[in-house]
Structure 1
Amino acid sequence: MEPISRRGAFNAAFAVLIILAWLALWLWERSPYGRYLNHAELGGLVHDAAWSSVLLQSSVYVTGWLLMTTAMMLPTTLPLLDAFRRMTARRTDAGQLVALVVAGYLAVWLAFGLAAHLFDLRLHALLERVAWLQANPWVFGAGPLAVAGAFQFSTLKYRCLERCRAPVGFVIQHWRGGNPVVQSLAIGAHHGVFCVGCCWALMLLMFAVGTGSIGWMLALAAIMAIEKNVAWGRRLSTPLGLALLLWAAAIALDHAWSWQ
């Protein structure tokens, strides 16, 4: 049986990591550099061909996205990390292996964030060339809401969600002996893939409101944690999907009404 002191140390370290991520984002949002958490501000740097601007954009975005995913998504993995920690508790390198699981998980979310950011920049480049989009910027607000709402009813959403809701079975399936470093990274990465699979559409909403919007982050983090880890969480998906679709429709109708 795992010593209580070791379990308490893990929970304390995990809590400190999450709190520091939230605190860093809160302070960043209120600093003179808070505007760089907004994707539109980052997109403006792309037009400057200087390598310094490109590197600035990349480093700022990677830092902001990693802080955001650590604050929002890492708490939802606590059941998985706890199961993995208990399974490896007798090993002398248990702490290192847990850290590798976290690293693998965040690496997948970072890859998704970079892909989403490049897609977002392409959309804004398209905005500058298409007159209709320039005249209808509401599409960039209603679009992510509609996509996120529709995805709540998809089969892929539920398949990935079910894998995320069975952390013990997931660890047993993937922890097969062999190289512990590689397997720890693989467990984190595999779990990250399923987590992205069930949560990517909700995370895209951050591009509509800005990476550093603490209020949105808290709301979405709570929703995703409930969906993944609470017994009745799956029942939240349908009303949430309907609410997001209605919100997108309201934006479109408001635009149509204003043009009459």
Structure 2
Amino acid sequence: MVRLTGGPGGPAAVRLRAAPAGLLLVVAAAAWVWLVTRWGGMPAMPGTMGLGVAAFLAAWTLMMTAMMLPATTPVAALYARTITAHRASRMVVFTVGYLLVWAVAGLPAYALAVGLGRAAHLPSAAGTAVAAAVFAIGGVYQLTPLKDRCLARCRSPIGLMLRYTSYPGASRDLRAGAHHGAFCLGCCWSLMLLLAAFGVMNLWAMVALAAVITAEKLAPAGHLVARTVGIASLALAVAVFWFPALAPGLTGGDMTGM
């Protein structure tokens, strides 16, 4: 157990909660700055936007850093309370473990982007049908029990903290970060799938989805947010046949990146 001076709400407790949250928010802010300066103003384009696998994975990891870390700050703060020594360095390892999961997820994301990029060059009706399928898959998953289970773990991670404190050895922080990252991946992959329709590097879509992810995990009505987004995605699966520009990443619409 972590000992705090000044009582549960004293200055030491406040600093303990704020430090890891501040670390993650600073890293996320730096990632957003890079994305805006690198991709801001570019139109949403289908597929990988011409990036090779290494460049795509680097950009993907920065995207996940920007989009996911803000919603992870409460868990990081809670995990920090289980650490009694070398807190800063160990929280860095925890964060690295978390981001490694999303970096690895970039490999199937790249393969999907390549395939869907080719679909964007098919006749317009085919591209629209693929976009509808992407919206439908993402929407259906948002309404499944598996989504609810993963989201519940992200929203109420006390049980996970008990598990993490039982991890032995020097790999504890890396394993804890990766384990939590796996639950976040299970919770949010359907939202990332929507980037295929909106355009992988579409900054407007990234900002909107980051807001949804944060609301799902932190808002009191987070489960309702998840279900609302699922229903909206199913509605988009129908609407895209009349308004193909809703899916510029697959239909060549004119939505700009930011």
Check whether TM > 0.5: yes
**What is residue 85 of structure 1 aligned with on the other side?**
80
**What is residue 206 of structure 1 aligned with on the other side?**
195
CA distance in 2 between partners of 1:183 and 1:14 (Å)? 19
| Structure 1 residue 177 displacement after superposition | 5.0
**Cα offsets for 1:83-102 (capped at 9, x unmatched):** 111111x21x2112111111
Query: Contact 2:195 / 2:205 at 8 angstroms: preserved in 1?
Result: yes
After superposition, the Cα gap between the structure-2 partners of 1:252 and 1:177, relative to the gap in structure 1 and judged at 3 Å, is: closer
Query: Contact 1:64 / 1:211 at 8 angstroms: preserved in 2?
Result: no
**1:227-246 correspondence to structure 2 within 5 Å:** 227-246=216-235
**What is residue 191 of structure 1 aligned with on the other side?**
180
After superposition, the Cα gap between the structure-2 partners of 1:211 and 1:137, relative to the gap in structure 1 and judged at 3 Å, is: closer
**1:23-172 correspondence to structure 2 within 5 Å:** 23-30=33-40, 38=45, 40-42=47-49, 44=50, 57-88=52-83, 90-91=84-85, 93-125=86-118, 135-172=125-162
SS of corresponding position for 1:171: helix
* 1:221 pairs with one of 186, 210, 226: 210
Query: Contact 1:26 / 1:212 at 8 angstroms: preserved in 2?
Result: no
Aligned pair count? 234
**What is residue 249 of structure 1 aligned with on the other side?**
238
**What is residue 248 of structure 2 aligned with on the other side?**
none
Taking structure 2 as the reference length, the TM-score comes to 0.81
SS of corresponding position for 2:47: helix
**Cα offsets for 1:205-243 (capped at 9, x unmatched):** 112223332221111111111111222111122222111
**Cα offsets for 1:164-191 (capped at 9, x unmatched):** 1122321121221521x31111111111
| Structure 1 residue 17 displacement after superposition | 1.2
Read off the aligned partner of 1:118 and give its amino acid letter: A
Query: Contact 1:79 / 1:167 at 8 angstroms: preserved in 2?
Result: no
Read off the aligned partner of 1:182 and give its amino acid letter: S
The RMSD of aligned alpha carbons is 2.5
After superposition, the Cα gap between the structure-2 partners of 1:186 and 1:145, relative to the gap in structure 1 and judged at 3 Å, is: same
**What is residue 254 of structure 2 aligned with on the other side?**
none
After superposition, the Cα gap between the structure-2 partners of 1:220 and 1:198, relative to the gap in structure 1 and judged at 3 Å, is: same
**Cα offsets for 1:7-61 (capped at 9, x unmatched):** 5444433322111111110001138xx57x855354x56xxxxxxxxxxx12321
**What is residue 15 of structure 1 aligned with on the other side?**
25
| Structure 1 residue 139 displacement after superposition | 2.3
Which stretches in structure 2 are left out of the alignment for 5+ residues? 6-11, 245-258
Which stretch shows the higher mean deviation, 149-158 or 228-237? 228-237
SS of corresponding position for 1:40: coil
SS of corresponding position for 2:171: helix
Which stretches in structure 1 are left out of the alignment for 5+ residues? 46-56, 256-260
Question: Identity of aligned pairs, percent?
Answer: 32
After superposition, the Cα gap between the structure-2 partners of 1:177 and 1:142, relative to the gap in structure 1 and judged at 3 Å, is: closer
